[in-house]
Amino acid sequence: MTDPAHDRLPRLLVTGVGVWTPGFPSAPAWIAGEADPEVVRASGRILDRMNRRRASALGRALVDAAAEAMEAGGVDPATVPTVVGSALGEVETMIGLLDQMWRRHEPASPAAFTMSVHNAASGLLSISTKNRGFTTSIAADDDTPAAALFEAIGLAHASGGPVVVTCGDGEVPGAFVAEAERFGLLAVALALAPDDGRTNGCARIVGPSRGGTPHVPTDLPRALATHPQVGLLDLADAVLRGREGRVRLDRGRGAGWCVDVVPLEDG
Amino acid sequence: MTTPTTRPLPITGYACLNALGGTREEILSALREGRTGLRPPDEPLAFETAVGAVGAPLPELEGALAPWSTRLARMAAALIVPLDAPLRRARERWRAERIGVILGTSTAGAETTERAFKDAVAHGTLPTDYDFRRQHTFGAVLHVVEALAGVRGPAWMISTACTSSAKPFASARRLIDAGVLDAAIVGGFDTLCAMTLTGFHALGALDARPCRPFASDRRGISIGEGGALALVERDGEGRVLVEGVGETSDAYHISAPHPEGAGALAAMEAALREAGRAPAEVDHVNAHGTGTTLNDRAEAGAIATLLGREVPVVSTKGFTGHTLGAAGAIEVAFSAYAIEEGWIPPSLHADPLDPEIPLNVRTETTAGRFRRVLSNSFAFGGNNVSVLLRAP
């Protein structure tokens, strides 16, 4: 890269990847490409029993993906700052509450109300891992993956340590989006570290920045093609396959943020 | 004083909107006179409560922005207007691509979606002018703020329940320090809706009367709405400065605070550590002070442990109600008022104080030289934020 502006862009190392979507409960399963029809529900394996019961399908997928990335990256779940991204958060729980109140005329469920907040998954993750440090929960429609990476850049710069980014969204109840816009459940996580010359990673990512020509993204199942977090899946896929090039983080549906992926041999 | 970990971040402009009014003068007048904005709700509910509804006129969104017009987006539009001059200066100083938008909301478009849902129950389909992607999503209002402010940097919404609009001050500070941004519009907003009121009622957290944080007879919270926006810049003449922000988690319970306020204490300590300041240098605390028995007691213990029992403490939620995702930014604005105006409002209806609250809770307007103010915000998920502001 000879562009001086490119040299000034932030850069991070990817040290671990996590994926959860129906049929593919891990990053190796995703790369293997054979969907397991028995995988329909994330386990939420790092949650204690009570919080696993509380967690939504999205919440369990997010914590499973985060746990996989943390293990792969060798980071301490009890101290690592976490960024959870979701365009719609716990929308299914929220619509369920509205249905309870206005269609069924029942009293609102206090448990459902508590779990309807966008940061339910980040809260459950911090409780389960006994992490008393930083966590946040963010949204930016189809630019959520880029926003999560920007948060990670700030955190890695401030702390000099690792950060785990996890983005996911679940299905939206049918009446609210057009048929062509519907998508399934997906969660993707990256364990990231500052590119400080001391940490080993499987890839370096440079950016986000706008412009340039991204490489052609992976073919995806129909249920993921319009997913708000598909850009993070494209990035994770490029890292896992050791593919060099520019990855668009919004599949053309957002502000155009991209990152450059450079595979590292010692990762 | 120890060594700060970052430079103070100037707030070069800020604006606030809540049940007390839509202008600085209206809000200051109500705060000084001890006039609450809490009233019975306009729309009847199955239970008694008081709410802090915004009565100020909100601009319509027109032309290309019309499809995004929700109460939340119109609040955002109202808050951009007073920032016009500092934003114009910032755009001349920094490229629009280097000015970010980092905001917070907990409800997003829930108020609009709830109305649309009720309509669908009554008529069988969602209203034709309802647009989920432009009116419900957490990111929808970002488009409105970017368009009205004329900025093109990275933009996102933080949604960590009641700390949502306090956290953007920290995110912006980190990205300016990292060289990614030169300036950012930070803050946030939330709107009232029946679902939120009913949810807090179901939790047994709502007071039937206007809330009375720290009072011996407090019975819970009152919900409000509103917002605040601030422009923070890499350097420049700040009206006030963000000197430190602490962000922690309780890792204890999804909706109950840690009983000893451990996470709250850690957040305040982190804010002071970032600023390189000693506890004795804090002149005033704008407490989270929601009015629930557990929250107020836990926070009071944390404040007393770190800052002692003499520092003047106020909860302003008796004026505005708990504005949820907007509370962080609104109370940062109230903390800035304390620094700029040289007085703090009373903690409304806190008298008689709970004897188990070991704090100097001010129950009348108090004049003073408030050079350094901590503003606390705590949330579901055990999320804690403490913002330390100081005079220039």
Q: What is the largest CA-CA distance in chain A?
A: 64
> Is there a contact between B160 and A115 if contact means CB atoms under 8 Å apart?
no
Residue pairs spanning A and B at CB distance below 8 A: 203
Q: Residue A9's pLDDT is what?
A: 81
* Stated pTM of the model: 0.97
Q: What is the CATH number of the domain that holds B337?
A: 3.40.47.10
Q: Which amino acid is at B362?
A: R
B280-294 residue pLDDT tens:
999 999 999 999 999
Quote the CA–CA distance of B164 and B72 in Å, as a whole number. Answer: 15
B39-85 residue pLDDT tens:
999 988 999 999 999 999 999 999 999 999 999 999 999 999 999 99
Q: Select from B114, B137, B202 the Cβ nearest to the Cβ of A107.
A: B202
**Would you put residue B63 in left (φ > 0), alpha (ψ -120 to 50) or beta?**
left
Query: Does the predicted interface ipTM exceed a cut of 0.85?
Result: yes
Quote the CA–CA distance of A211 and A232 in Å, as a whole number. Answer: 18
Residue owning tokens 């011996």: B216
| Average pLDDT taken over every residue of chain B | 96
Beta-carbon contacts of residue B70 (< 8 Å; ≥ 6 apart)? B109, B111, B112, B135, B140, B141, B191
Q: Residue B108's pLDDT is what?
A: 95
Quote the CA–CA distance of A56 and A89 in Å, as a whole number. Answer: 10
Collapsed DSSP state (helix, strand, coil) of residue A167: strand
The answer to whether the beta carbons of residues B288 and B386 sit under 8 Å apart is no
B81-107 residue pLDDT tens:
999 999 999 999 999 999 999 999 999
Q: Count CA within 13 A, CB hemisphere, residue B184.
A: 27
Q: For chain B, how many structural domains are there in total?
A: 1
The mean-pLDDT minimum among A76-80, B257-261, B361-365 falls in: B257-261
Task: Using a CB–CB cutoff of 8 Å, tell me whether A101 touches chain B.
Answer: yes
Q: Select from B106, B137, B203 the Cβ nearest to the Cβ of A117.
A: B106
User: CA B190, B193, B196: angle at the middle one, nearest 5?
Assistant: 85
Question: Which domain covers residue B21, as residue numbers?
Answer: 9-390
> Is there a contact between B171 and A122 if contact means CB atoms under 8 Å apart?
no
Domain boundaries, chain A: 4-263
Give a yes or no: residue B55 inside a domain.
yes
B22-40 mean pLDDT = 98
Length of chain A: 267
> Is there a contact between B254 and A115 if contact means CB atoms under 8 Å apart?
yes
Give a yes or no: residue B2 inside a domain.
no
Q: Where are the alpha helices (DSSP H) in A115-246?
A: 120-129, 144-159, 222-225, 230-240
B172-229 residue pLDDT tens:
999 999 999 999 999 999 999 999 999 999 999 999 999 999 999 999 999 999 999 9
Quote the CA–CA distance of B246 and A234 in Å, as a whole number. Answer: 34
Give a yes or no: residue B4 inside a domain.
no
DSSP-derived secondary structure letter, B21:
B
A4-263: which CATH architecture?
3-Layer(aba) Sandwich (3.40)
Collapsed DSSP state (helix, strand, coil) of residue B232: strand
Active site residues of B: 162, 288, 322
Instruction: Give mean pLDDT in consecutive 10-residue pieces for chain A, a chain of 267 residues.
Output: 64 97 97 95 93 95 98 97 97 95 94 95 94 97 98 96 98 87 95 90 96 80 91 97 95 95 81
Q: Residue A200's pLDDT is what?
A: 87
Token pair for B305: 């442990």
| Angstrom distances, CA of residue B216 to CA of A257, B16, B48, B356, B377 | 53, 30, 20, 9, 22
| % of chain B at pLDDT higher than 70 | 100
Q: Which of residues 1-40 of A touch B (CB under 8 A)?
A: 8, 10
> Is there a contact between B202 and A95 if contact means CB atoms under 8 Å apart?
no
Task: Using a CB–CB cutoff of 8 Å, tell me whether A211 touches chain B.
Answer: no
B247 contact residues in A (CB cutoff 8 A): 134, 136
Q: Which of residues 161-180 of A touch B (CB under 8 A)?
A: 172, 175-177
